[in-house]
Chain A
Amino acid sequence: MSQKKPVWIARDYTRCSGCRKCEIACSLFHEKRIWPEASRIRVFMLVPGAEVPHFCAQCHDYPCIESCPVEALSVSEETEAVLVDKEKCTGCALCIDACPGKIPHLHPTENYALICDLCGGDPQCARVCGEGRWNALWVAKKPKSHSYRLYAKRPEEVTRELVINLYGEKGKGMI
């Protein structure tokens, strides 16, 4: 019997260097290619310097799973990640609409949604970010709280706040 080991990838946008090693590691792991658009974590740069790694926040109520009309999405018993059944998924994109952060996206060439699966419990993005000591991403104990849903935000929303944090008054109007 598999052991339940919920993990969560913590994030600190202000520490993201924009090196995109997370995209490289994720796509190498899942696609056996370097494929930024097929990465389950994607770094948005809507304003230079305000890079936003965008990936699943594992909301406590999993609105994406609720929205799926074909039961292609489920919660991993081991890690509590959202798992996408590629065979069942029709690429209808309802899960993207249901996500408060519009985080899932469709595979660029296949017809199914891409959602972070925590690499089965050893997330490659957090590994590489930690190796490089940027520590914008790291593996944390999953909190018994609803607060992690605060990270389910659209890239624009995060960027709008980050640019003020980073550039102060100058940040207004950058996006």
Chain B
Amino acid sequence: MRGYAGKFLEVDLSTEKMKDVNFDEAILRQYIGGRGLATRILWDRLGDHWEKVDPLGPENILLLFTGPLTGFFPGAKLCVSGKSPQSNGIVGSTVAGEFPVEIKCSGYDGLIVTGKASHPVYVSVTDSKAEIRDASHIWGKEAKETLKILTEEGRRELRERNPRYGEWKEPAAIYIGPAGENKVRVSAVTAKWTHGAGYGGYGAVMGSKNLKAVIAKGTGPLPEVADLEKVSTLIDEISRIYYRADEWRRWGTGAAGYDVGARLSSEPVKNWQDEWHDEKSFGVDKFEERVWIKRYWGDFGCPTTCLKIAMPKAGPFKGAITDNPDYENQAYVGTNLGLFTPEENVYLMALLDDLGLCGIQGGNVLGFAGELFQRGILTKGDLDGIELKWGDAEAFASLALMIARREGIGDVLAEGTYRAALKIGEIKKMDLLPYAVVEKGIAIGAHGIRSGEDYTAEAGLMSFACSVQGGDHTSIAYLPLTHGNSELNVILHDSGVYCWFNVMEDEALDLIWDFFEAVTGWRIGPEEWYETTARRILHLQRAALLLGGPDLRWDPKVHDDNPPRFYEPLPSGPYAGKTTDRAKFEEYKKEYYEAVGWDERGRPKSEELKRLGLKDLDRKLRNALR
């Protein structure tokens, strides 16, 4: 097999036993790697009693997977998966960095982590050797300190192992902050201080397993490919496309911070009470001019380097460090909380990074709490004295700390917006779900559909409602299914495991089948992908989402819908008064079900599952979802 290291490392944290696991070529061709293969493994191992598996219990399985294209396709990523403590389904959540490359160079395609350690540990992988190590000295540490200690320890250990080698380059690491340790459902798996796999809540899964970090150093090459010359040429071709993509390079997604709010009117403002603002103080130019201290920052092989490092050099928030922030975090940790200056945005995002909270999920729950305070539902007393006013960065920072530590009301908000809405609603005897802007337990990315101008709305209003990854703005339901934004294409990228941004341009996407063939030797091609391979993965994810449990389950009739707020009229801006047309949404939903082979109840059809060789899934669904 080409493009693969050829084996996976399975670590059982309960017994402290490790073994190599192999998958045969037929399985890999069908499920590729990353999100696809993770889905298959989760189904094989947990599918028969999925509803009973507690995502934060020892039975859940954490998957840290690369894909065949990782390291080859420009812009390396890692795919993190497992049963999601947000949706109770399966999410393929990606994070950029060198960790996946180090894993592949150490001879593994990924890690399968089971069980629960008796005390805090981290796992170290070096050239096909792995160890479970005590992590009590880093447990409780925030992100920057954690990475510093892991870097020092990792290098020291490599030096001791082979002092003659020369300078040892640091091992790469993924890790969690205090939020993950405390099983906060809106926590991320973090890399390089600021990068996070946040969708899905896998930071909490690591925390539930007492797993603080995984570090990796591989001294070997990336695996052999089918056609090296072709791979090399394709790397150059893709890179040249992005060398010319000046807005992406210069501003990253940050250009949207003003644009999406002012022009498209689809940016969350004050917990989505509005989606429009004309606050030019929040333009990316202000970030660039005032707070960016590094203009081009990227991960392994990336031609775009859309990341930037930000640090205010003056004022009350001097010295706070984060990246850009990217558009999502500008929105969720900015406008969504009524914050409209780069300095406040950087300050709060840096804190979320350090605590290991996801900017999107964390920003969503902070905004939810902000609205409850605005409406007098949560009082200063409920919030341990915090006056949670829109635009008060310090107040939101105090609440973020309470969430990460699960203190006071933070313990409830740590469950994520949906669960918190149910719980606080129960206490206050009110229906708080109208203020929860989430889709199946997962906060909606910072892209509203009401104005009809956002890319998520082009898809036809069912983009989040019918996605198998809930609110994930990178993986939306989209028609036609072959379109670059379609979930079926995202499954390809999340399974080959590389950065989706470097394949967003049509001329890059056109080269993707050639890239897969040059690396793996398999001509997958659009027909095989859209008709069979991607469908299998989609249906498995859909089934896991519908089975859900143990605490929440989703009924398509009720929950394949937009959050209530998306049916309120936009209060201001160029699209004031506009809202989601429910009749049209129902039409699009029906059309989407039909296109992907789901019946009118939103379940994958029996004949579709049989056609794809998924009879066991069909049986399970028919028994479980009568």
Chain A interfacial positions (CB closer than 8 Å to B): 15, 17-21, 24, 27-28, 31-38, 42-49, 54, 91, 93, 96, 102-106, 108-109, 113, 131-134, 154-155, 166-170, 174-175
B297 touches A18 (CB 8 A): yes
Q: How far is the CA of A17 from the CA of B294 in the complex (A)?
A: 8
Q: How far is the CA of A174 from the CA of B147 in the complex (A)?
A: 10
B170 touches A106 (CB 8 A): no
Expressed in whole angstroms, the minimum distance between the Cβ of B3 and any Cβ of chain A is 11
Which residues of B lie under 8 Å from residue A34 when comparing CB positions?
71-72, 221-222
Which residues of B lie under 8 Å from residue A45 when comparing CB positions?
98, 170, 192
Is B196 at the interface (CB under 8 A from chain A)?
A: no
Which residues of A lie under 8 Å from residue B170 when comparing CB positions?
44-46
Given contacts A19-B300, A20-B98, A168-B319, contact A154 B167 (CB under 8 A): yes
- How extensive is the interface on chain B, given as a class? 35 or more
Expressed in whole angstroms, the minimum distance between the Cβ of A25 and any Cβ of chain B is 9
B311 touches A17 (CB 8 A): no
Which residues of A lie under 8 Å from residue B294 when comparing CB positions?
49, 166
Expressed in whole angstroms, the minimum distance between the Cβ of B191 and any Cβ of chain A is 9
0/1 per residue, B588-613, Cβ < 8 Å to A? 00000000000000000000000000
A108 touches B98 (CB 8 A): no
Expressed in whole angstroms, the minimum distance between the Cβ of B515 and any Cβ of chain A is 14
Q: A18-B298, A28-B232, A167-B293 are in contact. List 18 more A-B contacts (CB 8 A).
A: A17-B298, A17-B302, A18-B297, A27-B221, A33-B221, A34-B72, A34-B221, A34-B222, A37-B169, A38-B221, A49-B321, A93-B164, A103-B167, A105-B165, A106-B166, A134-B305, A170-B311, A170-B319
Q: Which of B222, B235, B319 contacts A35 (CB 8 A)?
A: B222
Given contacts A105-B166, A166-B309, A174-B148, contact A132 B301 (CB under 8 A): no
Which residues of B lie under 8 Å from residue A43 when comparing CB positions?
169
B313 touches A168 (CB 8 A): yes
Expressed in whole angstroms, the minimum distance between the Cβ of B524 and any Cβ of chain A is 21
- What is the predominant secondary structure among interface residues of chain B facing chain A? loop
B220 touches A20 (CB 8 A): no
B221 touches A44 (CB 8 A): no
Which residues of B lie under 8 Å from residue A154 when comparing CB positions?
167
Is B373 at the interface (CB under 8 A from chain A)?
A: no
Q: Which of B147, B293, B305 contacts A17 (CB 8 A)?
A: B305
Q: How far is the CA of A151 from the CA of B71 in the complex (A)?
A: 29
Closest to B163 in A: A93
Is B554 at the interface (CB under 8 A from chain A)?
A: no
B311 touches A48 (CB 8 A): no
Expressed in whole angstroms, the minimum distance between the Cβ of B285 and any Cβ of chain A is 20
Q: How far is the CA of A93 from the CA of B165 in the complex (A)?
A: 7
Expressed in whole angstroms, the minimum distance between the Cβ of B165 and any Cβ of chain A is 5
B221 touches A24 (CB 8 A): no
Given contacts A169-B319, A170-B319, contact A32 B228 (CB under 8 A): yes
Closest to B165 in A: A106
Q: How far is the CA of A108 from the CA of B161 in the complex (A)?
A: 13
Q: Which of A36, A93, A132 contacts B303 (CB 8 A)?
A: A132
Which residues of A lie under 8 Å from residue B567 when comparing CB positions?
none
Is B194 at the interface (CB under 8 A from chain A)?
A: yes
B166 touches A48 (CB 8 A): no
Q: How far is the CA of A28 from the CA of B169 in the complex (A)?
A: 19
Q: How far is the CA of A170 from the CA of B317 in the complex (A)?
A: 12
B321 touches A170 (CB 8 A): yes
Is B266 at the interface (CB under 8 A from chain A)?
A: no
Given contacts A166-B294, A170-B311, contact A93 B105 (CB under 8 A): no
B219 touches A132 (CB 8 A): no
25 interchain pairs, CB-CB under 8 A: A17-B305, A18-B299, A19-B302, A20-B301, A27-B221, A33-B221, A34-B71, A35-B222, A37-B169, A37-B220, A38-B221, A43-B169, A48-B193, A49-B294, A49-B297, A49-B321, A102-B167, A103-B167, A106-B164, A106-B166, A108-B219, A132-B243, A154-B167, A166-B294, A169-B319
